[in-house]
């Protein structure tokens, strides 16, 4: 089972780029972030014609997450539990039925948190605390599960080409990184670093200042696996080349293969 996460930075702007990537790499499941449209505005039929089941959790102009799956999806839920007043579309869950195992997938778009300090940073930390609670529930279920998406977290200095440039940013701030580690240390496996310990491997390059050409990137798109899912891990890689395509997202896909 090949499962990918991809912040597409707008389905309208990235319609062709997403279509090409799906056609060329054929993931079984794609967890999308920043679709930036209400559910009714997502081009569902196009991707259904490509063989995907489509589930979305959108909102106008901002945020929005989706699941595209060639495999059957069950028990789809929308929204991160813990705050009924939170209207931002940043979390979607479903159980995907593999050949040998069902896998619970959580697609997420974690808040950016800038500017810091301020209410946006407070929201980020509060959101991560809710995520911590949901992560505990996933572990308690003892089924293969994954939380994957744009975390807006640079976990370590090795995950930035110029870590000093991010010292005061919400993505690299000690409080953000500590909140991420609290989730990871519950018992999750970070799939990419398990397979790829080397430096200079990123999933995001800003559109400004020639970041892509300089490889001035950061790694902020992560896939965290419960122990049951980690036991199924075969590989995890970044589809870096798609950042150099026409009209790319500023993120690229990251994918895992599970023996499921």
The residue annotated as part of the active site, out of 28, 57, 109, 222, is: 109
What percent of the chain clears pLDDT 70, i.e. is strictly above it? 100
pLDDT (tens digit per residue) in 106-144 = 999 999 999 999 999 999 999 999 999 999 999 999 999
Q: Where are the alpha helices (DSSP H) in 113-226?
A: 119-141, 174-184, 191-195, 211-214
Which whole number is the average pLDDT over 166-176?
97
Q: Give yes or no: 251 in active site.
A: yes
Q: What is the pLDDT of residue 113?
A: 98
Say if residue 34 carries a ligand binding annotation.
yes
Question: Known binder of ligand: residue 114?
Answer: no
pLDDT score of 105: 98
User: Position of tokens 């702007």?
Assistant: 13
Catalytic site residue from 28, 150, 169, 221: 150
Structural domain spans, the chain: 2-258
Reply yes or no on whether 173 is catalytic.
Answer: no
What is the per-residue pLDDT across 182-217, written as a single tens digit (0 to 9) for each? 999 999 999 999 999 999 999 999 999 899 999 999
Beta bridge partners of 68: 30, 54
Assign domain 2-258 to a CATH class: alpha beta
What does DSSP assign to residue 186? Answer: T
pLDDT digits (tens, 9 = 90+) for 217-241: 999 999 999 999 999 999 999 999 9
* Residue 152 is labelled as binding a ligand: yes
> CB count, 10 Å around CB of 183?
21
7 annotated binding-site participant: yes
CB atoms within 10 A of CB 92: 27
Mean pLDDT, rounded, of the chain: 97
> Residue 64: what pLDDT?
98
The confidence score (pLDDT) of residue 253 equals 98
Active site residue 221: no
Cα 101 to chain centroid distance, Å, stands at 22
Would you state the pLDDT for residue 44?
A: 97
- In angstroms, the Cα distances linking 91 to 80, 117, 127, 132, 241 are 5, 24, 11, 13, 27
């Amino acid at each position: 089972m090949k499962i990918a996460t991809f912040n597409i930075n707008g389905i309208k702007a990235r319609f062709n780029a997403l279509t090409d990537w799906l056609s060329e790499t054929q993931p079984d499941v794609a967890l999308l972030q920043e679709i930036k449209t209400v559910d009714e505005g997502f081009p569902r039929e196009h991707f259904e014609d490509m063989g995907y089941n489509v589930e979305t959790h959108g909102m106008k102009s901002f945020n929005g997450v989706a699941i595209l799956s060639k495999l059957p999806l069950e028990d789809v839920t929308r929204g991160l539990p813990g705050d009924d007043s939170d209207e931002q579309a940043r979390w979607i869950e479903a159980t995907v039925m593999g050949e040998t195992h069902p896998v619970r997938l959580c697609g997420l778009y974690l808040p950016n948190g800038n500017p810091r300090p301020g209410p946006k940073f407070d929201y980020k930390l509060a959101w991560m605390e809710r995520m911590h609670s949901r992560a505990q529930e996933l572990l308690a279920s003892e089924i293969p599960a994954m939380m994957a998406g744009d975390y807006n977290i640079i976990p370590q200095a090795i995950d930035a080409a110029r870590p000093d440039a991010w010292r005061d940013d919400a993505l690299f701030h000690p409080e953000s990184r500590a909140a991420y580690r609290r989730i990871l240390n519950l018992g999750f496996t970070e799939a990419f670093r398990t397979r790829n310990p080397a430096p200079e491997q990123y999933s995001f390059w800003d559109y400004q200042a020639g970041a892509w050409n300089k490889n001035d990137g950061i790694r902020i798109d992560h896939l965290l696996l419960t122990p049951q899912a980690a036991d199924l891990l075969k590989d995890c890689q970044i589809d870096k080349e798609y950042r150099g395509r026409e009209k790319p997202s500023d993120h690229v896909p990251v994918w895992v293969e599970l023996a499921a």
